Amino acid sequence: METRDLGFVHRFLPPKTEGQPVLLLPHGTGGEETSLLPLGTRLAPDAAFLSPRGKVLENGMPRFFRRIAEGVFDLEDLRLRTHELADFVESASKVYAFDRSQVVAVGYSNGANIAASVLLLRPEALAAAILLHPMVPLVPKSLPDLAGVPVLITAGRRDPMVPPRQTEELMSLLRRAGSEVETFWQEDGHSLIPDEVRAAHEWLSRWTRRS
Protein backbone atom coordinates (compact mmCIF):
# COMPACT_ATOMS: atom_id res chain seq x y z
CA MET A 1 0.00 0.00 0.00
CA GLU A 2 1.75 3.14 -1.22
CA THR A 3 1.31 6.62 0.28
CA ARG A 4 3.91 8.80 -1.48
CA ASP A 5 3.47 12.57 -1.42
CA LEU A 6 2.03 13.58 -4.80
CA GLY A 7 0.02 16.56 -3.60
CA PHE A 8 -2.78 14.46 -2.09
CA VAL A 9 -2.89 12.21 0.92
CA HIS A 10 -3.73 8.94 -0.82
CA ARG A 11 -3.42 5.19 -1.02
CA PHE A 12 -2.25 3.17 -4.00
CA LEU A 13 -2.76 -0.57 -4.20
CA PRO A 14 -1.20 -2.29 -7.22
CA PRO A 15 -3.22 -4.73 -9.32
CA LYS A 16 -3.28 -8.39 -8.38
CA THR A 17 -3.21 -9.50 -12.01
CA GLU A 18 -2.14 -7.91 -15.28
CA GLY A 19 -4.60 -6.26 -17.62
CA GLN A 20 -6.76 -4.84 -14.84
CA PRO A 21 -8.10 -1.27 -14.67
CA VAL A 22 -6.82 1.37 -12.27
CA LEU A 23 -9.76 2.61 -10.21
CA LEU A 24 -9.56 6.24 -9.14
CA LEU A 25 -11.72 6.40 -6.00
CA PRO A 26 -12.75 9.93 -4.95
CA HIS A 27 -14.90 9.74 -1.82
CA GLY A 28 -17.98 11.67 -0.75
CA THR A 29 -18.09 14.50 1.81
CA GLY A 30 -16.62 13.34 5.10
CA GLY A 31 -14.76 10.40 3.61
CA GLU A 32 -11.04 9.84 3.31
CA GLU A 33 -8.53 7.84 1.32
CA THR A 34 -9.69 4.43 2.52
CA SER A 35 -13.45 5.03 2.34
CA LEU A 36 -14.07 3.59 -1.13
CA LEU A 37 -11.46 0.83 -1.07
CA PRO A 38 -14.07 -1.77 0.01
CA LEU A 39 -16.32 -0.66 -2.86
CA GLY A 40 -13.41 -0.88 -5.28
CA THR A 41 -12.73 -4.43 -4.10
CA ARG A 42 -16.37 -5.36 -4.70
CA LEU A 43 -16.32 -3.88 -8.20
CA ALA A 44 -12.97 -5.26 -9.37
CA PRO A 45 -11.04 -7.25 -6.74
CA ASP A 46 -7.95 -7.64 -8.93
CA ALA A 47 -7.74 -4.00 -10.04
CA ALA A 48 -5.29 -1.33 -8.93
CA PHE A 49 -6.72 1.33 -6.62
CA LEU A 50 -5.72 5.00 -6.48
CA SER A 51 -7.64 6.64 -3.66
CA PRO A 52 -6.99 10.31 -2.75
CA ARG A 53 -8.31 12.32 0.17
CA GLY A 54 -10.09 15.57 -0.65
CA LYS A 55 -8.06 18.66 0.29
CA VAL A 56 -10.95 20.98 1.21
CA LEU A 57 -12.48 20.88 4.69
CA GLU A 58 -16.12 21.69 5.38
CA ASN A 59 -16.84 21.67 9.11
CA GLY A 60 -13.84 19.39 9.47
CA MET A 61 -15.03 16.98 6.76
CA PRO A 62 -12.83 16.38 3.70
CA ARG A 63 -14.25 17.30 0.29
CA PHE A 64 -12.74 17.74 -3.15
CA PHE A 65 -13.91 21.34 -3.70
CA ARG A 66 -15.73 24.11 -1.89
CA ARG A 67 -19.43 24.78 -2.08
CA ILE A 68 -21.31 27.93 -1.23
CA ALA A 69 -24.45 26.09 -0.10
CA GLU A 70 -26.08 22.69 -0.57
CA GLY A 71 -25.96 22.07 -4.32
CA VAL A 72 -24.30 25.44 -5.06
CA PHE A 73 -20.65 25.02 -6.00
CA ASP A 74 -17.74 27.45 -5.85
CA LEU A 75 -16.94 27.15 -9.56
CA GLU A 76 -13.56 28.88 -9.36
CA ASP A 77 -12.43 26.46 -6.68
CA LEU A 78 -13.98 23.54 -8.56
CA ARG A 79 -11.93 24.32 -11.66
CA LEU A 80 -8.74 24.65 -9.62
CA ARG A 81 -9.34 21.39 -7.77
CA THR A 82 -10.28 19.58 -10.97
CA HIS A 83 -6.93 20.39 -12.54
CA GLU A 84 -5.16 19.44 -9.30
CA LEU A 85 -6.79 16.02 -9.34
CA ALA A 86 -6.05 15.44 -13.03
CA ASP A 87 -2.40 16.43 -12.45
CA PHE A 88 -2.29 14.03 -9.49
CA VAL A 89 -3.45 11.14 -11.70
CA GLU A 90 -0.76 11.99 -14.25
CA SER A 91 1.95 12.15 -11.58
CA ALA A 92 0.75 8.93 -9.96
CA SER A 93 0.86 7.12 -13.30
CA LYS A 94 4.57 7.92 -13.55
CA VAL A 95 5.44 7.12 -9.94
CA TYR A 96 3.44 3.89 -9.76
CA ALA A 97 4.00 2.93 -13.40
CA PHE A 98 0.42 2.34 -14.46
CA ASP A 99 -1.20 2.92 -17.85
CA ARG A 100 -3.29 6.11 -17.87
CA SER A 101 -5.47 4.60 -20.58
CA GLN A 102 -6.75 2.15 -17.96
CA VAL A 103 -7.87 4.72 -15.36
CA VAL A 104 -11.56 4.49 -14.47
CA ALA A 105 -12.99 6.97 -11.97
CA VAL A 106 -15.41 5.51 -9.43
CA GLY A 107 -16.67 8.48 -7.47
CA TYR A 108 -19.49 8.82 -4.96
CA SER A 109 -21.45 12.05 -4.32
CA ASN A 110 -18.86 14.85 -3.99
CA GLY A 111 -16.31 12.46 -5.46
CA ALA A 112 -18.62 11.76 -8.39
CA ASN A 113 -18.96 15.49 -8.96
CA ILE A 114 -15.20 16.07 -9.13
CA ALA A 115 -14.86 13.04 -11.43
CA ALA A 116 -17.54 14.47 -13.73
CA SER A 117 -15.67 17.77 -13.71
CA VAL A 118 -12.47 15.96 -14.73
CA LEU A 119 -14.38 14.42 -17.65
CA LEU A 120 -15.52 17.87 -18.76
CA LEU A 121 -12.29 19.81 -18.21
CA ARG A 122 -9.48 17.22 -18.42
CA PRO A 123 -10.95 14.28 -20.33
CA GLU A 124 -7.52 12.86 -21.18
CA ALA A 125 -7.12 11.88 -17.51
CA LEU A 126 -9.83 9.19 -17.61
CA ALA A 127 -10.67 6.25 -19.83
CA ALA A 128 -14.14 5.74 -18.31
CA ALA A 129 -16.13 6.69 -15.23
CA ILE A 130 -18.71 5.34 -12.81
CA LEU A 131 -20.49 8.31 -11.23
CA LEU A 132 -22.49 7.36 -8.16
CA HIS A 133 -25.16 9.97 -7.35
CA PRO A 134 -23.56 12.93 -9.15
CA MET A 135 -24.85 16.40 -9.96
CA VAL A 136 -23.91 18.63 -12.89
CA PRO A 137 -20.64 20.10 -11.56
CA LEU A 138 -20.29 22.80 -14.21
CA VAL A 139 -20.97 23.47 -17.87
CA PRO A 140 -17.74 24.19 -19.76
CA LYS A 141 -17.53 26.94 -22.37
CA SER A 142 -16.88 24.29 -25.00
CA LEU A 143 -17.64 20.59 -24.70
CA PRO A 144 -14.76 18.12 -24.70
CA ASP A 145 -14.59 15.15 -27.03
CA LEU A 146 -15.71 12.21 -24.92
CA ALA A 147 -16.12 9.75 -27.77
CA GLY A 148 -14.72 6.45 -26.54
CA VAL A 149 -15.02 7.47 -22.87
CA PRO A 150 -18.05 5.57 -21.55
CA VAL A 151 -19.82 6.58 -18.36
CA LEU A 152 -22.19 4.83 -15.97
CA ILE A 153 -24.35 7.10 -13.81
CA THR A 154 -26.30 5.69 -10.88
CA ALA A 155 -29.01 7.68 -9.13
CA GLY A 156 -31.84 7.43 -6.63
CA ARG A 157 -35.32 8.55 -7.60
CA ARG A 158 -35.89 9.68 -3.99
CA ASP A 159 -32.45 11.19 -3.49
CA PRO A 160 -32.93 14.31 -1.32
CA MET A 161 -29.56 15.73 -2.40
CA VAL A 162 -29.62 15.07 -6.14
CA PRO A 163 -32.97 15.71 -7.89
CA PRO A 164 -33.61 13.41 -10.88
CA ARG A 165 -33.46 16.40 -13.23
CA GLN A 166 -29.80 16.87 -12.23
CA THR A 167 -29.05 13.30 -13.26
CA GLU A 168 -30.87 13.77 -16.55
CA GLU A 169 -29.06 17.06 -17.25
CA LEU A 170 -25.67 15.44 -16.63
CA MET A 171 -26.59 12.50 -18.87
CA SER A 172 -27.53 14.93 -21.64
CA LEU A 173 -24.37 17.00 -21.20
CA LEU A 174 -22.06 13.99 -21.39
CA ARG A 175 -23.90 12.54 -24.36
CA ARG A 176 -23.62 15.84 -26.22
CA ALA A 177 -19.87 15.57 -25.62
CA GLY A 178 -19.91 12.17 -27.32
CA SER A 179 -19.84 9.81 -24.35
CA GLU A 180 -21.76 6.56 -24.34
CA VAL A 181 -23.76 7.01 -21.13
CA GLU A 182 -25.70 4.33 -19.28
CA THR A 183 -27.86 5.04 -16.26
CA PHE A 184 -28.97 2.86 -13.37
CA TRP A 185 -31.93 4.16 -11.38
CA GLN A 186 -32.74 2.86 -7.93
CA GLU A 187 -35.86 3.69 -5.95
CA ASP A 188 -34.15 4.81 -2.75
CA GLY A 189 -32.21 7.92 -1.74
CA HIS A 190 -28.57 8.98 -1.66
CA SER A 191 -27.12 5.78 -0.21
CA LEU A 192 -25.65 3.02 -2.33
CA ILE A 193 -27.70 -0.16 -2.43
CA PRO A 194 -26.60 -3.69 -3.38
CA ASP A 195 -28.37 -3.68 -6.77
CA GLU A 196 -26.57 -0.47 -7.64
CA VAL A 197 -23.18 -1.90 -6.73
CA ARG A 198 -24.01 -5.03 -8.72
CA ALA A 199 -24.90 -2.92 -11.77
CA ALA A 200 -21.61 -1.02 -11.45
CA HIS A 201 -19.68 -4.30 -11.18
CA GLU A 202 -21.33 -5.67 -14.32
CA TRP A 203 -20.72 -2.45 -16.24
CA LEU A 204 -17.07 -2.36 -15.23
CA SER A 205 -16.62 -6.02 -16.14
CA ARG A 206 -17.95 -5.30 -19.63
CA TRP A 207 -15.63 -2.31 -19.99
CA THR A 208 -12.62 -4.33 -18.87
CA ARG A 209 -13.36 -7.05 -21.43
CA ARG A 210 -13.79 -4.48 -24.20
CA SER A 211 -10.63 -2.59 -23.38
Catalytic residues: 109, 159, 190
102 within 8 A of 78, measured Cβ to Cβ: no
- How many Cα atoms are found within 13 Å in the side-chain-facing hemisphere of 13? 21
Q: Which of 53, 104, 114, 57 is nearest to 80 (CA)?
A: 114
* C-alpha 34 chain-centroid distance: 15
- Whole-angstrom distance, CA of residue 210 vs CA of residue 206: 6
52 within 8 A of 63, measured Cβ to Cβ: no
- Whole-angstrom distance, CA of residue 162 vs CA of residue 143: 23
Cα–Cα distance list, 14 to 23, 48, 56, 135 (Å): 10, 5, 27, 30
Rounded to the nearest 10 degrees, how much is the dihedral formed by the CA atoms of 25, 93, 95, 89? -50
